[in-house]
Each structure stands twice: as C-alpha cells, then as structure tokens.
Chain A
C-alpha cells in the first residue's frame, strides 16, 4: 500500500516533524507584526484627519491634504535641507576619518601601544548621547567651559557656541567624528587584515617603502570595502542621529539644526498634530527606503553578497 502523497498529507507530515522550529519562530513573528508592521498600518493617518477619539480606522480620509500643507511649509523644507546638509558634512568629514585612522593603526608596530589606543578610541561609541550632549554642553559653556577658557588664553572673547546657528553643524559633526571614528575603523582594519601578506612581502623585496605600500597595496585592496561603506552612508543620508540633535539644539539654533525627525517630534509628539507629522515621517521613510534600496542594489555590483 503506497502512502498517499498529496500536498496536504505532505504538509501535515512536515508539520508533525518540524513543528518545533515554527513554534520557535512564532514569538518573533508576532513581535514584528505587533510592534513594527501594525504601525505601518497606522501610517494611513498621513492621509486622514486623525483624531484620538475616532482612532486610526475610523478617522475620515483627506487625501493628500497633509502633504500639500507639508510642501508649503517653510519649516519642513528647512528641516529637509538641514538633514541633507548635515549628512553631507558627515559624509565629507566623518566618512574619511575612520579610514585614515585604520590606515594609521596599521602602521603601528608596537602591539601594546596599538591595542591601548584602539581600546580608548572605541570607547566613545558606547557612551549614551545624553552623556555626550552633557559633555558638549559643559565643554562649550560660555563661562565655565574649557573651550572658552582656551579661547580666553588666546585673547578671544567667550562665544555662546550652542546658541549660535553657525556653530551648530561644526559642533555636531565634530562630536560625531569624536564619537564614531574610532569604532568605525574596525571594519576597515578587518579589511586591511584580510589583505594577503605576501603582497607586502613581495613589495618589500621590490624595494617599496611603507608609504608606497599603503597607497599601492593597502588602499587598492580595501577599496571595495570603502566603496560599500560609502554606499551605505549615502543610502542612510536621511538618517541623522536626531537623538543627539534634540539634546543639543535649542530654538535659537533651529535654523541650522532642525532635521526632519526633530520636526516630526515637535509637530507630532509635542504639539499633537499626529497626522501632519506622520505625513512628514512617511515622506522621510519613503525617500530613505528608495535610497537604501538603490544603495543595496549598487553595492551588489561591488560585492557578490548584498549588504544585509
């Protein structure tokens, strides 16, 4: 007697044998639905006149009204502009920093010195943005801060850094480099470690010096990694670490500091205009999604595996 081998009996057979892995997966899937996919359903309030009392489903549709409001709002445009501006500065200064750091670490012979320096420069990555902001606020304080103390020694009058729009971006980007350059160098150090040592050995035999080896061997060999990391950065251009912005900006510096997410935060969570803020958030998310997808498909050309 041949056992019946229909789709259905096979599915039952499969579940009988493998039910445990489905059970293991279940909590995770439920979690994703409840905490990440349900809010996506809630995104429809971007097209609705949302009121707390009617809830997401029962609020009336208003079409693209919020987007029209958004695109005629100077503050929103300013926030988009600031987001891109800050990201661009981050890219320009923040992107090369870990590469340079990694290349320099690679030249250090003394193992203990290298290890100690690495341990220290990785550390700020693990410090919370509240503390980072606290340090920045203290250090840049007009009367008490070390920065103005140093300027005082040079005979320069105290500057109220954190209230000056023109100082926000340099301070923000500089803080970012201070916090992340060291940790970011790990990826490039790993890429450098992956370079075939015999390349260097044959270069030594050919009479190359360390400087030439860095330019002619190390950098070309880690170029794929550099490109991929660059593409990721470009893909994430809409993602400014807004937590730190919220902690560092103030109304006086909104003109240069306010980014999309901080604007969303103020409009939505502080002023209660949920639907308009959700529309701005949706705009941000869609642009970010397109950028990330483009970056991902681009990076597939540089490496056989995709990024994530």
Chain B
C-alpha cells in the first residue's frame, strides 16, 4: 500500500517534511543526554562558564573520580540492585499466583475480588495514612519494608489476569485431564504460555524499582539503606547549594555541574544497557494493560 515509487510529488514532499520533523523531535529528545554526557567529561571551570554545548570542553574524568571515591555512591548503587532484583522477585511471587487465581472462572467471589483489587486504582488513602501505616507496621527505615510495601499493584495484576483469561481454556483442560493440579497448570502451562505478559510485568517492576525515589526518600533515614536515586538527589541538592560546595570543592577540574552530570550518567547506563532487550516487550505490554475491567 505504501510504496515510495507510487507516491505523487505532493505525497513525497509531505513524507519528507514529516521525516524531517520526526528527526528534529528525535534529536531534541536525545540532546539532553548528549549534553549531560558532555558536561560530565568537561572541566568544572568550562562547565560553570557555560561553554559546553555538544562535546566535552577540556576533557577530563576528574568528576568520575570524585564520584567513584565516595563510598556512599557504591553503597547506594548496591542498594538499588537489591531493591530492583529483590523487589521484582517478590512482586512476581505475589502477582503470578494472584492473577492466575483471579482468572479462574471457578473462583467463587471472583467479581468481588476483582473489584476489591481494581478499587485501589480509583481510590487510595493518600500519603499520610500510608506513611502512618508503615510506621505502625514498624517498616520505617527498613529495606524489607520498601521491598514488601511496593510489591503489588492493581494494574500489574489486572494486566496479567487479562492475559491469563485470553489463553484458550482447552490448554488448562488438557493439562487437567493429564492429571495436573492448579500449581502444575500454572507453572507448566500458563507461565510458559504467558512469557510476553510476564516479561512486561517484570519490566514494569524493574523500571519502577530502579527509578523509585519518593517513598525511599520518605521512609529511609539510614545512609547505608538509601538507593541510588536518593543519593543522587542528596548530591544534587548539596551541590546546587553552591556556597556549601565551594567550601568542599575548590578544584577547577570538576564542579557541581560536572559531578551532578557524572552521577546522572552512572545511573542511566544500566538503563541504557537493558533498554534494547526490553524494548520489544513494552510495546506489547502497554497494550495488554489498556482495556477491560
């Protein structure tokens, strides 16, 4: 249907204009990352003077040396890995069996349970009661608390439940006639058949864990428990208070801007490494979740 050779002149012109516009938007999307990378490799002096545009000025890796020398950076990096991996595994351990049960027609009260879960998407108690509840549960400043309290959300359960419901019932029936119980049906049939949906949910979990900031900031006090995002925020806050920073850093090789940029680069890199692998899943995944109660 769409064939360049069969396009009229007007259509060709239109296509070229659109391609250029898309190109511009793409460059605009990419540019801030290039800019930050350039700043991170520039000298503090050049960055402070606003000289950096595309490529590093007075190229240096002093900012990275400064960042890597901080023990708190490595601790928070490790913590983020713990939260991401641990949190994702715990999430899956809740979500997969839960979604399976909710997808079974023979579950009595299925409508009620589905509503019970969906309701939390429409109404939530808000920051304060959630925080006070965490305190009552003794989960403040607890790594376990962070992992558990954000393990499940209604959206992921419903997404997977919808996928499970779309699996033809004969798969389950065949397995049952072969003697499988529910755990075997789930583990040997549904999970392998649902790889795209489970990959999508895993992806959502990983991304939200890796990026999680607000509650980590509110709930965690100990330096040795905070994740990378909170460390990054602390550092940015500290560095943008220029006077305080001036007391600690006088070297022109790196400055507040370059150090901030260096930390940003360090925390984006894992995302960039994983991104190509997950890309094929999230387009599918976002569409899986969209529809149906």
Contacts and interface: CB of A to CB of B under 8 A. Distances in A.
Contacts of B212: 128
Contacts of A243: 213-214
A28 B263 CA distance: 37
B116 A148 contact: no
Interface in B158-191: 158, 181-183, 186
B26 A40 contact: no
B141 interface: no
A213 B98 CA distance: 45
Contact of A186 (B113, B137, B214, B286): B286
Interface string A39-66: 1101101000000000110000000000
A55 B129 CA distance: 12
Contacts of B137: 34
A261 interface: yes
Given A35-B149, A126-B271, A134 B2 contact: no
B65 interface: no
A131 B292 contact: no
Interface residues on A, range: 35 or more
Interface residues of B, number: 107
Contact of B132 (A56, A107, A129, A261): A56
B130 interface: yes
Given A25-B97, A109-B2, A209 B8 contact: yes
A121 B127 contact: no
A36 B11 contact: no
Contacts of A289: 122-123
Contacts of B15: 107-109, 210
B28 A178 contact: yes
Contact of B29 (A110, A182, A186, A246): A182
Contact of A21 (B101, B125, B151, B157): B101
B244 interface: no
B53 A22 contact: no
A237 interface: no
